[in-house]
Amino acid sequence: MGENNCWEREVLITELRKGKELMLQLQKHLKQDVCLQYLAAEILSSYDKAMSLLNGTALSGMMMSKGKEIIHPAPSSSTASQLESPHLLADSSTKSCDRPSKSRKRKTLARRTEYVEARPGTKVPPEDGLSWRKYGQRFVLGEKYPRKYYRCARRCCGATKVIRRIDTEPLTFEVTYGGSHNCDQENNNQNEQLLLAVQTQVGRTAGELSDFSIREMVSTPNNSSSTGVVFSNSNSVFNMNNSDFIPTPTSSPHPLDNNSFTDVLFVHDVPENTGSTYQSSANDFNSPNHILKKLSFDHYLI
DNA sequence: CGGCTTTGACCTGCGC
DNA sequence: GCGCAGGTCAAAGCCG
């Protein structure tokens, strides 16, 4: 990896962060316009994707050259500064329930790094909705702030995370997830986020689904890793899934603002590549057998 | 009193 | 082989 390439990458990352910060400021002024809000969120998502790719390339390149582990780039986050539910990469050496493994062997396993910005009025470092127990903290050479080591609060869970405060941007935190959650905390967290989103959107569109119904929809019985919600009426289809709460309009302005949806479809095990099909047109939704037959789903009339 | 945080010690991987 | 850096352990202290 050439020195120039590393320097250029650093410059690119810096510029991307500046752009993201400016977009965040702009977004604050767009509260009245849902479409602009959506566009701003999309741009922020692109910033995150670009930064993740750059960081991943830089890290993996450096690590490969040193013969250390490859650090995988973080998948794109759907909203700016929103910490994703950590879909952790598999840890093949899953720890057993008697967690205090005596081995202090340094982890050389796949990890995932994300960047999280602290917002005014929020806790520092920002919480991600999961319960973590701090087990260590140390200053690392050349870093202004200490690294903080956390592991999942569930005793039988092998997930860990390391939080590092960026020297040049004290409100930005690098969160590196390691290990995998073998407890159900992650699923519960996703369900709570989905519940909140569905309650909000259903309330805006119809407001007639009981909280109990929504909660039943969101509490997926099959422990599925990927779930989604589709709102529809005779004119429009709108898809939401638990990894992307940003409304994706099939038309402009935003469909949830102008349509009264009559159906809510709760889909389990949404294949990654079918989301766009739902979003693309009402026709896809009206003749979705080639897709839906692969899925299990609940159907609710509002 | 149980759970959590702090912090120094310990252990291991890696570069030289 | 040695020394350093980083990740983890675990005892002690704190807190509700």
Q: What are the pLDDT digits (tens) for A146-196?
A: 888 888 776 666 778 888 887 777 677 888 887 666 665 555 555 555 455
Q: How far apart are CA A21 and CA A239, in angstroms?
A: 28
Distance CA A104 to C1' B10 in A: 9
* Proximity of residue A102 CB to strand C below 7 A: yes
* Proximity of residue A66 CB to strand C below 7 A: no
Q: Which nucleotide is nearest, taking the CA of residue A111 and each C1'?
A: C7
* Proximity of residue A108 CB to strand C below 7 A: no
Q: How far apart are CA A166 and CA A11, in angstroms?
A: 15
Q: How far apart are CA A127 and CA A118, in angstroms?
A: 9
Q: How far apart are CA A65 and CA A107, in angstroms?
A: 18
Distance CA A66 to C1' B16 in A: 13
A279 pLDDT more than 60: no
For the stretch A96-146, pLDDT in tens is: 333 334 445 454 445 677 777 766 555 556 666 677 888 888 888 778 888
The average confidence (pLDDT) of chain A is 52
Q: Which nucleotide is nearest, taking the CA of residue A162 and each C1'?
A: C7
